[in-house]
Chain A
Amino acid sequence: MSHTPTAAQPTGSVLPPKSGKTAAPALRNLALPLAACALLTASSKVNAEYGINFPQPAAGVAQEIYDIHMLTMQITTFLLVIVFGFVFYSLYYHRKSRGYEADQNFHKSWFGHWSWVIVPVLVLGIDLTIAGKADAVLKEVWEVPKEENIMDVKVTGHQWWWEFDYLDHDIKVESRYVPHEESGDLYLREVDNRLVLPTGVKIRFLHTSADVLHAFWVPELAVKKDAIPGYVTETWAELNREGVFRGQCAELCGTWHSRMPIVVESVSPQQFAAWVDDQQAIKVAAAAEASADKTWSLDELMAKGKPLYETKCAACHQATGMGLPPAFPALNGSAIATGPLEGHLNIVLNGKQGTAMQPWNSLNDLEIAAIVTYERNAWDNKTGQAVQPADVKQAR
């Protein structure tokens, strides 16, 4: 049984949290959109500061993608200027109010006869320029390098949190958004447990989902891939600088799609190794605690259950236990949470098909026992029942 760090037992950040772009008063700069157009094609360094272009890439593939983005944007802007130039010239000079007489034979000139060849050939030339460059980049981005020592991270999307499995280190991280009161200006861009990754190592991300479609996206890494339940897709990146990079889920995944931030913390390989050791120590301690042959008191279980409930269950069922009917039923006073224990354990362990309620059987017996005890005793549910890890083991 692997242990999962939660908000109550913070994984600890290796780097101090970097403050995000602070909120500018709304409407401060209405001229921004206009200026932005000109800026976009100018210098990439300026762009990053105003938040009107992609952030500075932090991986090789991201840099290539950034470059092809800038190239196509410059080509298309150039074409746009040409089209606008011709149109505005014509709008100004070829007007009836200026006394301009229509040239009724314009379409019969040599130009009129051959433009259907000339124009497509010109456009084809531009197309091939773009496609040729894109094709070269695509090969590099698309195919994961076949290397022995590539680091595998399995990214699983859940409604509405991310699970990161470090397959080579046997560590699992659950990553959830942090409520506004605690995250402030980083609200919806900050998580409780970050995806800590080393620089200078090729990393393969294996994307999948436990329920509906999600998409993993961190702009600095530039790898966006759908997480499809039952299938695995892959992307890769090699981080080339340290820092904290923020992204969000990019495929509509239901009610709290907006609350699935991803925070990548890029650290040196040494710091990463230290972090891995810490995680494994926490895991061993938790496993020892869970397997201890001990009868837990109601108070102990409630104290353990509350934070677990609040991180794992409250997004849907709410901290008040009232849920958000009809999508998410209330637990307070519900037939399942106050009825027979078997039914309650069954739905928590196995989920409910066709709904957002997923199986929670990856949690250990103690965690399930604590959550179920909390749900059966919190709010108005005063069953007084202390569910023991042994009960959970039996129900599995």
Chain B
Amino acid sequence: MTATTLTHDEAHHHDTPKGWRRWLFSTNHKDIGTLYLLFALTMLFLGGASAMLIRLELFQPGIQLLAPDLYNNLVTNHALIMIFGAVMPAAAGLANWMIPMMIGAPDMALPRMNNLSFWILPAAATMLILSFVVPFFPGGGTQINTGWTLYPPLSVQVGMSMDFLIFAIHLLGISSVLASINIIVTLLNMRAPGMTLMKMPMFCWTWLVTAFLLILVVPVLAGGVTMLLFDRHFGTSFFDAAGGGDPVLFQHLFWFFGHPEVYILLLPSIGVLSHVIPAFSRKPLFGYNSMVGAMLAVATIGMVVWAHHQYTIGMSLGAVTYFMIGTILISIPVGLMIFNFIATMWRGSMTFETPMLFAVAIVLMFTFGGLSGVMLAVVPADMQYHDTMFVVAHFHYVLMPGAVFGLFAGVFYWLPKWTGHMYDERLGKLFFWINVIGFNLTFFPQHFLGLAGMPRRIVDYNVMFTEFNVVSSIGAMIFGLSHLLFLYIIIKTIRGGKKAESRAWEGAKGLEWELDSPPAFHTWTVAPQIK
């Protein structure tokens, strides 16, 4: 360790490694950020393909395309790939790229660990894909037909592919805890002189909270799936009533992770919005302090309301009342966030480039998803909504705008900074419109399906549900295929395009825009002074 203690100047003259060694051994936050983003993009297409297969099967009543277990397997994998493979790594990629540049740090605090936390991911993804593929081989056991919630006793029935999945979850968990530790240390120890916590860019704040959430809840999921593994192979009965256990215990452990996970997916995108909306409204973020407070409140309340995912397990009246009121109260800080975004746009001087289009769509559609969340929080009404397509519609309205559109906005916003080229604005807007229309066409009808009585996670349905399923499936095809355009735009921008200025957007503020586009391999080797 002491041998590598060089001075700043010496480090600066070091050559950049070339070829594959540059990526495999990378300790540079920009390269690792790129790796994370490319990994997430790959997973987005895998998860998207599984979603399109699901919707193709549901296009018409009857079982046409997928055997029931394969359908359930795809449902499971779609969720896990999208959450752990696409959204979380994409958010981590943005964090890696932007946090050091935003706070005036030369790199992440723990560069070697940064390398480790990325390179665990491909191994984890391989395990995840194996869990899908293994049952197709002779002796591979049954497919995972439990959904991503992995509820026992069903998950105890599944063959060896469940073990692959459990280990994949362990690896993914280790990766995200390491990344979170790195981000927290960077944000707390590496800020440029003069940048107090309350002067930190909003994206950094959201990631600080997200990283703490990850450290607190991911180990609990790891504990839960480990107990599942023990139940499956070592004769324990944590979740088996016959041995004195309780299947519901797993649900508590799972959702103690699962509910904060929603905010883990959401908050980084809220951070992106807090940069995009002020930039294209040409005025500062409305209510910085209340935004920070709201975020801390969301994270705190979000940790203690997990059981609203399990209203139907037969809790006591006192318990459900508590979880109901706690859940409804989340609307206060979330409402404040939405209000701040609208107030930022209010009396602004707005232009509508692609990132801003996505931002406006998020404000509108995330509000919609949040309001159906209030409906779901009401326990008596949830006795009807629970486990129907209404829930599917609700959480896609929260997570697609709340998380994924936020990431799209971030990618379009910072793409000029990363590549040094402006993306094709015309294509960007085209992508936005196809994407948003496809999304609404897919998920809006699912509200009605749920209310009319269609449960979720069924491979086949009665003819009475046909019409809305047809609309939903057509929407899903449009929505899914539109991402090919996204891929094309990114490739086109990397390969060339109009030269981007340092400050690529007229209204953009922040340290990252003081640097060249694309920035040098090592930036802020001399820390800027913040007034």
Residues of A within 8 A of B (CB): 20-24, 26-30, 32-33, 36-37, 51-55, 61, 64-65, 68-69, 72-73, 76-77, 79-80, 83-84, 86-87, 90-91, 94-97, 100-104, 106-107, 112, 115-116, 119-120, 123-124, 126-127, 130-131, 134-135, 137-139, 141-143, 180, 185-189, 207, 211-213, 215, 217, 219, 222-226, 228-231, 233-234, 246-259, 324, 326-327, 354-356
Q: Indicate whether A33 sits within 8 Å of B468 (C-beta atoms), given known contacts A76-B375, A86-B346.
A: yes
Are B313 and A228 in contact (CB-based, < 8 A)?
yes
Q: Indicate whether A228 sits within 8 Å of B387 (C-beta atoms), given known contacts A96-B282, A134-B379, A252-B154.
A: no
A219's partner among B156, B286, B384 (CB-CB below 8 A) is B384
Q: How far is the CA of A53 from the CA of B368 in the complex (A)?
A: 18
Q: List the 7 shortest-distance A-B pairs measured between CB atoms, nearest first.
A: A230-B241, A233-B314, A116-B290, A23-B463, A258-B458, A76-B371, A103-B347
Q: Which of B52-75 contact A (CB under 8 A)?
A: 60-62, 67-69, 72
For residue B374, CB closer than 8 A to chain A, the reply is yes
Residues of A contacting B448 in the complex (Cβ-Cβ under 8 angstroms): 33, 36, 51-53
Residues of B contacting A226 in the complex (Cβ-Cβ under 8 angstroms): 312-314
For residue B321, CB closer than 8 A to chain A, the reply is yes
Known: A77-B371, A124-B329, A222-B384. 17 other contacts (CB 8 A): A26-B470, A54-B452, A65-B380, A80-B371, A95-B350, A104-B284, A123-B332, A134-B378, A187-B61, A188-B460, A217-B387, A225-B383, A229-B153, A230-B241, A251-B387, A252-B147, A254-B157
Cβ contacts A to B, 13 pairs, < 8 Å: A23-B464, A79-B371, A80-B368, A83-B338, A96-B282, A104-B283, A116-B289, A188-B462, A250-B386, A252-B149, A255-B72, A324-B67, A355-B157
Task: Find the B residue at minimum CB distance from A51.
Answer: B452
Residues of B within 8 A of A (CB): 60-62, 67-69, 72, 135, 139-143, 145-147, 149, 151, 153-154, 156-157, 159, 240-242, 246-248, 281-287, 289-290, 293, 312-314, 317, 320-321, 324-325, 328-329, 331-333, 335-336, 338-339, 342-343, 345-351, 360, 363-364, 367-368, 371-372, 374-375, 378-381, 383-384, 386-388, 441, 444-445, 448, 451-453, 455, 457-464, 466-468, 470-471
Are A72 and B375 in contact (CB-based, < 8 A)?
yes
Q: How far is the CA of A180 from the CA of B460 in the complex (A)?
A: 12
Are B286 and A326 in contact (CB-based, < 8 A)?
no
Task: Find the A residue at minimum CB distance from B455.
Answer: A250
B317's partner among A61, A143, A222 (CB-CB below 8 A) is A143
Are B324 and A138 in contact (CB-based, < 8 A)?
yes
Are A94 and B347 in contact (CB-based, < 8 A)?
yes
Q: How far is the CA of A357 from the CA of B407 in the complex (A)?
A: 46
Residues of A contacting B328 in the complex (Cβ-Cβ under 8 angstroms): 127, 130-131
Q: How far is the CA of A57 from the CA of B349 in the complex (A)?
A: 51
B122 to chain A, nearest CB (A): 29
Task: Find the A residue at minimum CB distance from B338.
Answer: A83
B152 to chain A, nearest CB (A): 8
Q: Indicate whether A21 sits within 8 Å of B248 (C-beta atoms), given known contacts A87-B363, A326-B135.
A: no
A33's partner among B68, B72, B455, B471 (CB-CB below 8 A) is B471
Interface centre among B284, B317, B338, B467 (most CB of A within 10 A): B467
Q: How far is the CA of A250 from the CA of B347 in the complex (A)?
A: 48
Residues of A contacting B339 in the complex (Cβ-Cβ under 8 angstroms): 115, 119
Are B321 and A135 in contact (CB-based, < 8 A)?
yes
Q: How far is the CA of A236 from the CA of B282 in the complex (A)?
A: 58
Task: Find the B residue at minimum CB distance from A93.
Answer: B347
Q: How far is the CA of A72 from the CA of B374 in the complex (A)?
A: 8
Are B462 and A213 in contact (CB-based, < 8 A)?
no
Are A142 and B317 in contact (CB-based, < 8 A)?
yes
Are A76 and B374 in contact (CB-based, < 8 A)?
yes
Residues of B contacting A83 in the complex (Cβ-Cβ under 8 angstroms): 338, 342, 363-364, 367
Are B351 and A107 in contact (CB-based, < 8 A)?
no
Residues of B contacting A124 in the complex (Cβ-Cβ under 8 angstroms): 329, 332
Are B324 and A134 in contact (CB-based, < 8 A)?
yes
Q: How far is the CA of A98 from the CA of B62 in the complex (A)?
A: 53
Q: Indicate whether A123 sits within 8 Å of B363 (C-beta atoms), given known contacts A65-B383, A257-B457.
A: no
Are A123 and B241 in contact (CB-based, < 8 A)?
no
Interface centre among A30, A126, A258, A259 (most CB of B within 10 A): A258
Residues of B contacting A248 in the complex (Cβ-Cβ under 8 angstroms): 453, 455, 458
Task: Find the B residue at minimum CB distance from A211.
Answer: B153
Q: How far is the CA of A249 from the CA of B153 in the complex (A)?
A: 16
Are B324 and A52 in contact (CB-based, < 8 A)?
no
B434 to chain A, nearest CB (A): 18
Q: How far is the CA of A238 from the CA of B240 in the complex (A)?
A: 33
Residues of B contacting A112 in the complex (Cβ-Cβ under 8 angstroms): 286-287, 343
Residues of B contacting A102 in the complex (Cβ-Cβ under 8 angstroms): 281-283, 347-349
Residues of A contacting B248 in the complex (Cβ-Cβ under 8 angstroms): 228, 231
Q: How far is the CA of A327 from the CA of B141 in the complex (A)?
A: 7
B453's partner among A32, A187, A247 (CB-CB below 8 A) is A247
B346's partner among A21, A106, A219, A233 (CB-CB below 8 A) is A106
